[in-house]
Amino acid sequence: MERHLFEADHDAFRETARAFCDKEIVPHHESWEEAGIVPRELWTAAGDAGLLGFMIPQEYGGGGARDFRFNTVVIEEITKARASGPGFSIHADLVSGYLLDYATEEQKQRWLPKFCSGETITAIAMTEPGAGSDLQGIQTTAIRDGDHYVLNGQKTFISNGILADLVIVVAKTDPAAGYQGISLLVVERGMDGFERGRNLDKIGLKAQDTSELFFDDVRVPAANLLGEEGKGFIYLMEKLPQERLTIAVVAAAACEGMLETTLRYVKERTAFGRPIGSFQNSRFVLAELATETQIARVFVDRCIEELNAGKLTVSDAAMAKWWTTELQKKVADRCLQLFGGYGFMTEYPIAKAYLDTRIQTIYGGTTEIMKEIIGRTMGI
Amino acid sequence: MERHLFEADHDAFRETARAFCDKEIVPHHESWEEAGIVPRELWTAAGDAGLLGFMIPQEYGGGGARDFRFNTVVIEEITKARASGPGFSIHADLVSGYLLDYATEEQKQRWLPKFCSGETITAIAMTEPGAGSDLQGIQTTAIRDGDHYVLNGQKTFISNGILADLVIVVAKTDPAAGYQGISLLVVERGMDGFERGRNLDKIGLKAQDTSELFFDDVRVPAANLLGEEGKGFIYLMEKLPQERLTIAVVAAAACEGMLETTLRYVKERTAFGRPIGSFQNSRFVLAELATETQIARVFVDRCIEELNAGKLTVSDAAMAKWWTTELQKKVADRCLQLFGGYGFMTEYPIAKAYLDTRIQTIYGGTTEIMKEIIGRTMGI
Amino acid sequence: MERHLFEADHDAFRETARAFCDKEIVPHHESWEEAGIVPRELWTAAGDAGLLGFMIPQEYGGGGARDFRFNTVVIEEITKARASGPGFSIHADLVSGYLLDYATEEQKQRWLPKFCSGETITAIAMTEPGAGSDLQGIQTTAIRDGDHYVLNGQKTFISNGILADLVIVVAKTDPAAGYQGISLLVVERGMDGFERGRNLDKIGLKAQDTSELFFDDVRVPAANLLGEEGKGFIYLMEKLPQERLTIAVVAAAACEGMLETTLRYVKERTAFGRPIGSFQNSRFVLAELATETQIARVFVDRCIEELNAGKLTVSDAAMAKWWTTELQKKVADRCLQLFGGYGFMTEYPIAKAYLDTRIQTIYGGTTEIMKEIIGRTMGI
Amino acid sequence: MERHLFEADHDAFRETARAFCDKEIVPHHESWEEAGIVPRELWTAAGDAGLLGFMIPQEYGGGGARDFRFNTVVIEEITKARASGPGFSIHADLVSGYLLDYATEEQKQRWLPKFCSGETITAIAMTEPGAGSDLQGIQTTAIRDGDHYVLNGQKTFISNGILADLVIVVAKTDPAAGYQGISLLVVERGMDGFERGRNLDKIGLKAQDTSELFFDDVRVPAANLLGEEGKGFIYLMEKLPQERLTIAVVAAAACEGMLETTLRYVKERTAFGRPIGSFQNSRFVLAELATETQIARVFVDRCIEELNAGKLTVSDAAMAKWWTTELQKKVADRCLQLFGGYGFMTEYPIAKAYLDTRIQTIYGGTTEIMKEIIGRTMGI
Ligand SMILES: Cc1cc2nc3c(=O)[nH]c(=O)nc-3n(C[C@H](O)[C@H](O)[C@H](O)COP(=O)(O)OP(=O)(O)OC[C@H]3O[C@@H](n4cnc5c(N)ncnc54)[C@H](O)[C@@H]3O)c2cc1C
Ligand SMILES: Cc1cc2nc3c(=O)[nH]c(=O)nc-3n(C[C@H](O)[C@H](O)[C@H](O)COP(=O)(O)OP(=O)(O)OC[C@H]3O[C@@H](n4cnc5c(N)ncnc54)[C@H](O)[C@@H]3O)c2cc1C
Ligand SMILES: Cc1cc2nc3c(=O)[nH]c(=O)nc-3n(C[C@H](O)[C@H](O)[C@H](O)COP(=O)(O)OP(=O)(O)OC[C@H]3O[C@@H](n4cnc5c(N)ncnc54)[C@H](O)[C@@H]3O)c2cc1C
Ligand SMILES: Cc1cc2nc3c(=O)[nH]c(=O)nc-3n(C[C@H](O)[C@H](O)[C@H](O)COP(=O)(O)OP(=O)(O)OC[C@H]3O[C@@H](n4cnc5c(N)ncnc54)[C@H](O)[C@@H]3O)c2cc1C
């Protein structure tokens, strides 16, 4: 089934993104996996190519195209290139929205130009060692003291944690006020008392830096408050659907990619004198995965349209998130199996895809939390 | 998520269809279930209401709206009314296409007016006791003898088998020529040697007549050949996608219907002092079903658009067919479970829905055959 | 894998049971299905054959063999004969335990002889319209008044409800005392104010009578109290493991039966010029079902040994119950599918098996309640 | 449910094995994972502790206890210690059987003493780059030339491939004779033309060496032929059930281990003010896994008894293999999910367990091949 989502501009942008992946990412990814991180130069190159700031108004150095289809193009090309290292998505698909919608004019001028150029790498830090699913349970505090907030606490599992120059930190400015006491503060590289932990060793996403962040009496200028004090939780609720859809976009593209790779393999690999794809079991497995991938594709594309139209509900995003990522897990598992012993060898792309896949049902809100959200919308 | 499929005309037609169901079907369905069949009067009433011939050009007494969205409207309303008895779909969604696309002008004039009015009830007979999935394996023969074909053989599981006045019979006009020897013949009530077996006793679809048909030297006039001799198999291949999509449309609507009923139930029924819907397991089960039903809905609607645009591929239709019907089975099973003991009582709608559901993955091509088709399209 | 469970005595008893099924049940079952009930004569014939009282001491007219392997033999033969109508199991596998362990000597002498002969048919009534899973939520009361209890309330879904002469009724003798106020009373046919509702129409178990029971100021003699007042809930907890294992024994035997029938079918039925069993998908499906059925068999046999040794825990019984019945559902569904259209015809045994199967995950405690129990044992 | 399998001797042996794991393995495993291999000293230490040769007659330096329950004890202790590095199982559970049953007296004297002491590490090489599932498709040849066989070919995925001193190589001594031309040759470290490839980089089993082996005109003395020429395939068929059961024993123990770890975690970790284990979804997931793990345990133990009695069929072993390893995958996946983000961190044992698990459904014969075998036994 043909996709109806894109127009000529998106197709052109896709060419740019694909060329960038081919040239700047693919040849180096393996060495980045060993390093556990990508180089800063990759980010500035991406900035030059227009892949980081396309959604930012031109006045701040961006492309002026706030249309999630452009985000989709980049996500898809990166996913198809199996480039799980570069944390562009956190920056361009998540943080961008917070800065565009909640930053003041002054903040925009201060942050956005380098956001677009890739000189400033961003992150968003919600999760703490003791609170992930339960965001209201965070314990990081930011107590107002004159023109500053004094920030104390610890975050963990922060994507781009090592590279980030600018981190949106979720903290309690009024610890007694429950979710209404939560605010967003922008912490910048170099502020006193802001330290990073080690780069965590993960099952997959080997070239992506994920780390702990420590805040010890960090004096964050009040001018770095994002939006209004006490509205942080509401902002998160507003932005989480887009984050979840982003993950679903990755999932759909990953399924397509794995399926393609596997289809090629089962046509070539033989056993018992026949291509292994010709065994009825293989055919049925692949037919099943192809069906569900196609269905995911149609649904995700539809969700992108809804998002662009400002109509993607919290529940729809949750549906897209859990279903496509659980599908991705299934596709990864079934495809790996079709590779036999080779599937277990990390030099095979399907093995890496399998490893990268496992986080998808966890971050951005677990499958369980998604079902809670949907259930609540249904009134139960 | 709002549906985008329909326009004002369809909505108006839905009102008609719904009113018809409420008035002419719902109050009587239970008694028809006992009878194992619906009365002929129901068909003429449906004809009067415009539910049978809307897709037939006005010159033959129809509504002139060949747009599958109208078919969708009727299917959905009947499904939501849980009216599994009336075999309108065979007539309006399947047979209609054959008559419109392959009948000669003379045949159209002969058959279509009463097709629209409901005076002529139709059926299509492919399956035989010895050949279902493997259509090319049929043994019914129609040997040309002057102006007639002499038809011999047996069909089984024919929907509308008892009521039908006009049956499209798939037969071998050239038994040696493989699939190229298959033709479609229209057999009419009253032809000598055409007998019906008993109305088969089924797990569900209790008010729908399904029967064997016997052909013993039936002399079918050559003027009743549909389309060209030897092209029958190709015609079937052309029309099966629409048949399969029809079944998927039923499936999606049935899922929505069951979910709604169940959601209502779990909010009212209590155990351990709480509505049973409030147990997390119930919530998660329903969130999962709601997600998949929503995803099915979006996919089916998209397939309807493709069909209307003449672009629904054999593979897409097969995907829609197997996936939505397997989903329907899952929804029926999980919902019934939430009713506890009551789910096992046939007076409860969920019990009937469960029973009607089980055929869906079988007729119109089994899930296994669908996967074969999809696999073949993938080149494996 | 050979079974190790049985000894010569059990094998001999199996011959008796099988002969009884072949002669007294199989030829009549279909007509009983139409009647919705089995005749009383079947019960006395079963009594004569020793199938009802084998576990009762000889002094009361029984066989004196309280060894659950004998129960197993009868359950298996009845299941393999697909004789879902006769409610012997309620009587011989469930009620027997209550009478043997909690009845006084006087009660035993009064009730057991006819229990063994089949003149007295028994039932046990826990469930009410408003309380099934939540047994403590029952509202039937039995208030002591002199030598009697005055019983008021309503039960539903009672197996053998129409035939039963003697019903163990769960009631609150002290409504304020929570589970410690629950007692068991034996209500007998003919007591004033004890009425039965209609024989309920069910998805399956067509020949088994299931009905509502009404108690309107029934004066039950105190001599009909079973065990101690206030201990009813504890008695139920003690006996439920055996009831659940009974259901698991049915499930395992049913899986074996369906598998056998289906295996025969797929070897005979052909499509595309080959037995349908020879398609790899059929082979894999059946291999999967055969594996799980075998595993269920080994586990159930082991549980029977544990029960006989007095060591079957509540949690083990719950595991056996939910897992084997969910498996039975899967086996029924997959096997039916392999029958194609024939699977939907009630004249095919697989269709009836499918219908009978659906209650198994519900009665005796739903799958959900089983998981609750197991989870609690795990300390969560 | 208590296990009935073991006697006092096995329990005592378990103490030895456990102590060995605690002292010699656990403290070092992480460094071995980095090295990708375990040190030879570990093997001699294991030999000293009696863990390698317990099944070898005492005359050759072994323990004289050919009873698979001893093997089970070692496998379980190693698995519970999450010590996936040491390839003892290949040696003690697989190769041992070949040497005991097919080696000549002279060969036994030559090989077994150092087999027991751990000075000689063994491997078995069937798989080739072009032939895994389809063993008959191997292309390695061993052509008789006087007192020698000239061995040419390549093997891959060989466990203990780097460490092995003695490798049973499956080769075609008569390439034209199909499976009857296959023989087993023992290739020893240092033979000319025998080279190893690199230690392959895998998803899991990080401390286990797996490698390619190359044979380039290796002159293997005829005295190193194992058993009779041309019987190799039959020997493999005879020994594969034990290999498969070995994998099932690992699977069952791994499930138990993961469940235990996870149960501990969900009782401690809190979210929304409650232990995450107390959410009904967690409880149900764990109840389900506990049930299936228990059922697997009972089945595997029963299979061990059958093996010891010489009655484990090819089909039973295939059932145990595929079912328990698919279960292991499920347990690993569901447990990891319950750890949230921590599950994705390789420092968490559940993450490693997840990685080690994925090979289980592939080696020793894939799930698909197991189903083929079972299906064939069923006559389809
Ligand atoms: C690679 C990686 C990158 C990440 N990047 C970021 C980032 O950039 N920024 C950021 O802020 N965070 C990030 N995260 C954190 C991620 O969002 C959290 O791990 C996730 O939200 C889950 O939280 P948790 O790990 O604390 O799990 P927990 O909340 O402890 O959950 C444990 C388990 O309990 C279940 N559970 C919890 N509540 C319920 C309930 N009510 N009902 C049923 N089940 C429940 C969960 O579903 C889960 O299975 C990242 C994590 C990883 C691993
Ligand atoms: C209520 C009802 C109404 C019906 N209405 C009509 C109607 O109006 N007109 C009409 O012509 N027919 C009708 N049918 C028939 C229906 O289309 C067939 O039953 C269906 O196509 C399956 O054919 P079969 O029953 O012969 O099954 P078979 O073809 O015998 O199939 C048996 C099993 O084998 C499997 N199988 C077959 N081939 C393969 C393969 N290559 N690989 C793997 N598995 C395979 C199937 O999937 C199935 O599980 C109806 C059937 C029912 C029950
Ligand atoms: C054919 C038949 C024969 C029967 N025979 C007998 C008999 O002889 N004697 C007798 O006493 N009873 C009998 N029963 C009743 C049977 O035991 C009950 O139907 C069963 O226990 C479920 O109770 P319920 O129907 O009230 O369902 P409910 O308790 O209303 O449950 C509805 C749904 O909610 C779920 N649910 C309930 N509590 C929880 C929870 N805490 N967490 C998650 N989910 C939950 C259930 O699992 C179920 O899915 C019979 C029933 C049938 C249909
Ligand atoms: C870590 C590791 C350790 C190993 N250790 C050893 C060892 O010590 N010695 C040794 O000899 N080997 C070893 N192996 C090899 C292992 O046994 C093989 O990888 C396995 O048997 C599968 O073979 P393959 O990789 O060639 O897959 P293939 O045979 O190419 O199979 C590919 C896919 O096709 C499927 N398939 C194949 N045939 C059919 C069919 N007829 N019908 C349906 N599907 C089919 C398979 O199930 C699989 O999904 C090891 C492998 C690994 C990864």
Question: D269 and D359: one domain?
Answer: yes
**CATH number of the domain encompassing residue A152:** 2.40.110.10
Instruction: Write out the residues of chain C at the interface with chain A, using a CB-CB cutoff of 8 A.
Output: 279-281, 284
CA pair distance C288, D79, nearest whole angstrom: 26
Strands (E) in B129-251, as ranges, are: 141-145, 148-159, 166-172, 182-188, 194-199, 210-221, 225-226
d(CA C264, CA B149): 39
Which amino acid is it at D276? I
Interface of B with A (CB under 8 A): 1-2, 263, 266-267, 275, 277-278, 280, 282-284, 286-288, 290-292, 294-296, 298-299, 302, 306, 311, 313, 316, 319, 322-323, 368, 370-372, 374-376, 378-380
* Residue-level pLDDT at D273: 96
Q: Cα(B5)–Cα(C267) distance, rounded to whole angstroms?
A: 46
Six-digit token string for D19: 């102590």
AA letter at A153: G
Q: What is the pLDDT of residue D258?
A: 98
pLDDT digits (tens, 9 = 90+) for C237-252: 999 999 999 999 999 9
Protein residue with least CA distance to atom 6, ligand 4: D158
Contacts 24+ apart (CB under 8 A), A103-108: A103/A226, A103/A227, A106/A223, A107/A186, A107/A223, A107/A224, A107/A226, A108/A60
Both tokens assigned to D266: 């969900």
The answer to the question of residue A274 being in a domain is yes
Clarify whether residues B82 and B127 are in a common domain: no
Closest CA to ligand 3's atom 17: C363
The answer to whether the CB of D122 falls within 8 A of the CB of D110 is: no
D3 found inside a domain: no
Q: How many angstroms separate the CA of residue B210 from the nearest CA in chain A?
A: 30
Q: What ipTM does this complex have? A: 0.98
- pLDDT of amino acid C276: 98
Record: contact B380-A319, CB cut-off 8 A? no
| Cα–Cα distance list, A53 to A49, D123, D197 (Å) | 9, 56, 47
Using the mean position of ligand 3's atoms as its centre, give its distance from the Cα of residue C240 in Å: 14
From the CA of D164, the nearest ligand is 4
Question: Residue C120 has which token pair?
Answer: 């007295």
Confidence of residue A22 (pLDDT cuts 50, 70, 90): very high
Residue B154 lies in a domain: yes
| Tens-digit pLDDT profile for residues C195-246 | 999 999 999 999 999 999 999 999 999 999 999 999 999 999 999 999 999 9
Partners of B368 on chain A (C-beta within 8 Å) are 284
pLDDT in tens, C260-307: 999 999 999 999 999 999 999 999 999 999 999 999 999 999 999 999
Give the ligand with the smallest distance to the CA of C367.
3
Q: Give the whole-number percent of chain D exceeding pLDDT 70.
A: 100
The Cα D173–Cα D154 span in angstroms is 15
Q: How confident is the model at residue A175 (pLDDT cuts 50, 70, 90)?
A: very high
CA distance to partner chain C, nearest, from residue D12 (Å): 26
In this structure, is residue C3 part of a structural domain? no
How big, in percent rounded to 5, are the helix, strand and coil portions of chain B?
55, 15, 25
Asked if B47 and B82 sit in the same domain, the reply is: yes
B156 neighbors B127 (Cβ within 8 angstroms): yes
In terms of Cα–Cα distance, which of B38, B33, B126 is closest to B355?
B33
CATH number at residue D300: 1.20.140.10
Instruction: Confirm whether C1 is domain-assigned.
Output: no
- CA of C363 to nearest chain B CA: how many angstroms apart? 7
**Claim to verify: residue C106 and residue C136 sit in the same structural domain:** no
Q: Relative to the CA of C269, which ligand 2 atom is closest?
A: 30
Residue to test with chain D: of B274, B276, B280, B337, most D Cβ within 10 A:
B280
Query: In the prediction, which pLDDT does B55 show?
Result: 98
State the residue range of the domain holding C91: 8-120
**The predicted structure's pLDDT at residue B46:** 98
pLDDT of residue A66: 97
What's chain D's length in residues?
380
**Do B221 and B179 belong to one domain?**
yes
**Model confidence at A329, in pLDDT bands (50, 70, 90)?**
very high
Q: How far is A111 from chain D (nearest CA, A)?
A: 30
Q: For residue range D172-191, what is the model confidence (pLDDT) as tens digits? A: 999 999 999 999 999 999 99
Cα–Cα dist D42/D48, whole Å = 10
Locus of tokens 């291949």: B237
**Residues of chain B scoring pLDDT < 50:** none
D61-99 core/surface letters (b: 16 or more CB in 10 A; e: else): bbbebbbbbbbbbbbbbbbbbbbbbbbbbbbbbbbbbbb
CA dihedral A230, A233, A234, A238 (to 10 degrees): 150
C214 and C238 within one domain: no
Over residues D67-83, mean pLDDT: 98
Residue D253's pLDDT band, with cuts at 50, 70 and 90, is very high
What single letter denotes the amino acid at residue B150?
Answer: V
Q: What is the CATH number of the domain that holds A112?
A: 1.10.540.10
Task: Tell me phi and psi for residue C274, to 5 degrees.
Answer: -140, 155
pLDDT score of A41: 98
> What pLDDT score does B9 carry?
98
pLDDT at C294: 98
CB D308 within 8 A of CB D10: no
Same domain, B133 and B107: no
- Which one of A59, A85, A120 terminates a domain? A120
Chain C positions in Cβ-Cβ contact with residue B130 (cut-off 8 Å) = 270
User: Are the beta carbons of C1 and D292 separated by less than 8 Å?
Assistant: no
pLDDT of A18: 98
Pick the last residue of a domain from B94, B120, B146: B120
Same domain for B130 and B113: no
Tell me the pLDDT tens digit for each residue of D98-123.
999 999 999 999 999 999 999 999 99
Same domain, B267 and B281: yes
Are A163 and A147 in the same domain? yes
Domain count across chain B = 3
Q: Is residue D157 in some structural domain?
A: yes
Residues B103 and B157 in one domain: no
Distance B341 CA to ligand 3 centre (A): 5
Q: How confident is the model at residue C4 (pLDDT cuts 50, 70, 90)?
A: very high
Say if residues A361 and D337 touch (Cβ distance below 8 Å).
yes
Nearest CB to A283; choose among B280, B288, B375: B375
Q: What is the DSSP string of C368-380?
A: HHHHHHHHHHTT-
Per-residue tokens: D333? 């996946």
**Residue B3 is assigned to a structural domain of this protein:** no
Q: Looking at the structure, do residues C259 and C211 belong to the same domain, yes or no?
A: no
Neighbours of chain A (3+ CB pairs under 8 A): B, C, D
Which residues are paired to C69 by β-bridges? none
Q: For position C54, what pLDDT does the model report? A: 98
Give domain status of residue D52, yes or no. yes
Q: What residue's CA is closest to ligand 4, atom 50?
A: D157
Say how far apart CA B286 and CA A165 lie, in whole Å: 43
Question: D132 CA to middle of ligand 4, Å?
Answer: 4
- The neighbour count for residue C122, using CB atoms within 10 Å, is 25
Domain end point (choices D120, D141, D159): D120
By C-alpha distance, which of A327, A318, A353, A322 is closest to A339? A353
Which SS3 state, helix, strand or coil, does residue C275 take? strand
Per-residue pLDDT of C83-103, as tens digits, reads 999 999 999 999 999 999 999
Can you list the alpha helix ranges (DSSP code H) found in D105-216?
Answer: 105-117
Contacts of D178 in chain A (CB under 8 A): none
Q: Is the CB of C280 under 6 A from ligand 2?
A: no
User: Do B281 and D280 make contact, defined as CB atoms within 8 angstroms?
Assistant: yes
Count Cβ atoms within 10 A of the Cβ of residue C155 and give its class: 0-12 exposed, 13-18 middle, 19 or more buried: buried
Ligand 4, residues at Cβ distance < 6 Å: A 269, 271-272, 276, 279, 281-282, 337-338, 340-342, 344; D 90, 123-127, 132-133, 157-159, 202, 205, 210, 359, 362-363, 365-366, 368-369, 372
Nearest chain C alpha carbon to A281: C281
